[in-house]
Amino acid sequence: MNVQETVKKYIVEAMLMGRGGDDLAGDTSFLARDILDSTGVLELAFFLEETFAIKVADEDMVPENLDSLNAIAAFVARKQARVAADRGGVAVSSSGR
Amino acid sequence: MDARAPGFAFSASILDLDAAREADRIAQAVLELVQKRLKRRGVVVGVSGGIDSGVVAALCARALGPQRVVALLMPEKESSAESLELGRRLCDHLGVQAIQEDITPLLEASGCYRRRDEALRAVIPEYGPGWKSKIVLPGVLDTDMYRVYSVVARSPDGREVKARLPPEAYLTVVASTNFKQRARKMLEYFHADRLAYAVAGTPNRLEYDQGFFVKNGDGAADIKPIAHLYKAQVYQLAAHLGLPADIRSRPPTTDTYSLPQSQEEFYFSLPYHQMDLCLWARDHDIAPAEVGRALGLDAVQVGRVFRDIDAKRAAARYLGSPPLLVDPAAADPEKADQT
């Protein structure tokens, strides 16, 4: 599963009680669809940290990074690339566990 | 006020009211609601030493006579001594009966403090006796950051720690702290039942609209006499009603967490006098640039405040919702709401 699929599965399960989500496209805004409230954002950030071994800083918690599946995938990829660079390794493409 | 009328200019004066007339109008409504609609004999009101409960108690005393108003002072071990002192002064001033109920034993029995402290130890393992804490939101004006709470804790020797809690711990801290408002409401209804009185809630319009209350805690009441008033208007009524000056000049505080906490860092994105105007503007389709000119903000900042207002309103839908029925179960919708 790639990042989008992993996060989509999580959002459907955690925020939508396991129902719906078929129309959740890569660019669907969670805010516009009333899917994420502030507690949901906190949960999502925690999920991303646990699942992708990244650190979501306070200043990362903006719609630009977290408001759609595409935005999250790009954000996770940037974070993982930075982690890899800090370790002196090679940036890997984003992928879920 | 018609924001589309010729010559209309958006400014703080839109919230000016005829305080004498409004006080009479509310007092008349309180009498009508309590006596005729609810068929109760008086009012119980929890008094915090703040402006809102002070104005509600004063309006109820004016409506029903001070002898038909019971004010409850409900301190606990983490509330400020000033709250109790100001609450007492208010009761003396109004000539209403004050009953003090220390809710600390109730909160200890329900595990309010213990459950909260255990949750805080998820990120601050050394949190324990002598520590104090509060939850805070980031500012809204200069960033698009989601408004996600962090905890600020202070050790007995003054060291301060700020951390984002894991979701479960955060929700447990909030749920534990909500015991405070619910314990107070339980006592308000004890006295109301004992006396055949109604319970008056004290939210102002900002709190009522934006969901700044605990469901079945301070959100529960039989009447809410100032829920239609902006905070600035509550201050105008307080001045008209002659409330003690130290109550009128006290900065709004939540007095819920053990560290001092302003209402802006806890809930609202701006000080009340700006928040009032932004809420009014949001409901009257005033452009962010025009609001910004009146408040000394830019249009982007006002846009952020508007988004925050909308987000809080969305969250408040659950808080304000009565129990929902699958089918209507009473001929009178008012009765259905009470079941």
Which tens digit of pLDDT belongs to each residue from B14-25?
Answer: 999 999 999 999
Q: Which residues of B touch A46 (CB under 8 A)?
A: 166-167
Nearest to B174 by CA among B15, B327, B319: B319
Q: Where are the domains of chain A?
A: 3-86
Confidence of residue A96 (pLDDT cuts 50, 70, 90): very low
pLDDT in the model for residue B143? 87
pLDDT in the model for residue B332? 66
B154 beta partners: B132, B160
Q: Where are the domains of chain B?
A: 16-334
Lowest mean pLDDT among B34-48, B197-211, B307-321: B307-321
Confidence of residue B336 (pLDDT cuts 50, 70, 90): low
Tell me if B146 and A66 make a contact (CB, 8 A cut-off). Answer: yes
Q: Is the Cα torsion angle B94, B79, B163, A33 positive or negative in sign?
A: negative
Number of H helices, E strands in chain B: 14, 7
Tens digit of each residue's pLDDT (9 = 90 or more) over B270-300: 899 999 999 999 999 999 999 999 999 999 9
pLDDT in the model for residue A97? 39
pLDDT over 80 (residue B73): yes
Q: Which residues of B touch A55 (CB under 8 A)?
A: none
- Please give the Cα distance from B280 to B282 (Å, whole number): 5
Q: Which residue has the higher pLDDT, B158 or A94?
A: B158
Percent of chain B with pLDDT over 70: 98
Tell me if B311 and A61 make a contact (CB, 8 A cut-off). Answer: no
**Per-residue pLDDT averaged across B167-174, rounded?**
94
Dihedral pair phi/psi, residue B86, rounded to 5°: -70, -35
Confidence of residue B52 (pLDDT cuts 50, 70, 90): very high
pTM for this model (two decimals): 0.92
pLDDT over 70 (residue A89): no
Mutate to test the interface with B, among A58, A59, A68, A75 (most CBs of B within 10 A): A58
- Please give the Cα distance from B117 to B129 (Å, whole number): 9
Nearest to B234 by CA among B278, B283, B274, B272: B272
Q: Regarding beta strands B43-46 and B160-163, do their DSSP bridges make them parallel or antiparallel, or are they unpaired?
A: unpaired
A3-86, CATH topology level: 1.10.1200
Confidence of residue B339 (pLDDT cuts 50, 70, 90): very low
Tens digit of each residue's pLDDT (9 = 90 or more) over B296-305: 999 999 999 9
Nearest to B52 by CA among B316, B237, B280: B237
Look up residue B99 and give its two tokens: 């009953």
**On the CB side of B215, how many CA atoms lie within 13 Å of its CA?**
11
Mean pLDDT for chain B overall: 93
Tell me if A63 and B149 make a contact (CB, 8 A cut-off). Answer: no
B307 contacts: CB under 8 Å, gap ≥ 6? none
pLDDT in the model for residue B337? 52
Tell me if A38 and B171 make a contact (CB, 8 A cut-off). Answer: no
**C-alpha pair distances (Å), B155 with each of B27, B133, B173, B326:** 47, 9, 18, 50
Look up residue B261 and give its two tokens: 């906490």
Q: Angle, nearest 10°, between helix axes B112-120 and B167-195?
A: 170
Instruction: Say which CATH class B16-334 falls into.
Output: alpha beta
Tens digit of each residue's pLDDT (9 = 90 or more) over A33-54: 888 888 999 999 999 999 999 9
pLDDT in the model for residue A94? 46
pLDDT in the model for residue B267? 79
User: Helix H segments across chain B?
Assistant: 19-31, 51-64, 81-94, 104-110, 112-120, 167-195, 205-210, 231-241, 245-248, 263-266, 272-283, 288-295, 299-320, 333-338
Nearest to B145 by CA among B164, B171, B125: B164
- Classify the phi-psi angles of A71: left when phi > 0, otherwise alpha if psi is within -120 to 50, otherwise beta: alpha
Look up residue B299 and give its two tokens: 């249009």
- Please give the Cα distance from B335 to B339 (Å, whole number): 7
pLDDT in the model for residue B256? 84
Q: Number of residue pairs across A and B with CB atoms under 8 Å? A: 44
pLDDT over 50 (residue B306): yes
Mean pLDDT for chain A overall: 89
